[in-house]
Structure 1
């Protein structure tokens, strides 16, 4: 949360997941990797100072995306080939999850605007369905969608991920609506 309480003199930002879990992270890290959060902060100014509610990303996937960002934040600027090789291995291992989890990770990266993670996860998904024909891919996606409905009792965001609303709302706007 961007507030007077700062850890190591670094401004913090609070992100709240769709299921209400709060994540307080170093603001510079979030702004560097989460393009959509940066856009909200730039356009909302003081309204986003208390934090941002990300209504289309659950806590589990928010934690994964932030873990990815932290890992890259510490090592991305290095020109050392060994460090870059470690990052490639980390990326490859990071997306070694089942297809449903991979789709949810893709959506979390999309909604938060984490380009690097989105590219890595989409490449992994593409590799898994590369040798299949379009009807088979459709069947996979429909199966994933049906499975997600069983887990969540509501439509997961990836059925309507293509669209305008990214589900990011400055926390001050949410809290003011709750008070009314």
Structure 2
């Protein structure tokens, strides 16, 4: 199985991936690590400040083929990052999609407005961030966009509304439900 964890910056994708790694013992790929490896090695003309859409266009074809290779070899992997495009499933035939679990982490507007200081304070809980937490308006815009896209595509998502809760058992149930319809889990 390949588990894809998407979401706006600062929503806890890396933290969730770490929890799943510990629970499942699946290898984990951070798309930020892949991005920085390509940039630092000089293998691409991108920079850490490149537009997210540009980074997605560059990274997704590589990641897509890694996913196919994992599935073909019956291997497991967790992949987390901002660079998983909406519509990702169109790149895979049905037999591959059955082996992919997707979840998007989303902050509600109220959560961002009421807990922005917490979001900023915990931004480096899983990794050392060099950049500052985006402004609340930027987080609001990105999370609104992701929620709309999750609903439009009938994707599973976790909506953090009151508390930041990434309960591993709840995540397991969410990832392993067979229904293709959207599932929202409020935290």
Q: TM-score normalised to the size of structure 2?
A: 0.29
Q: TM-score normalised to the size of structure 1?
A: 0.30
Larger radius of gyration: 1
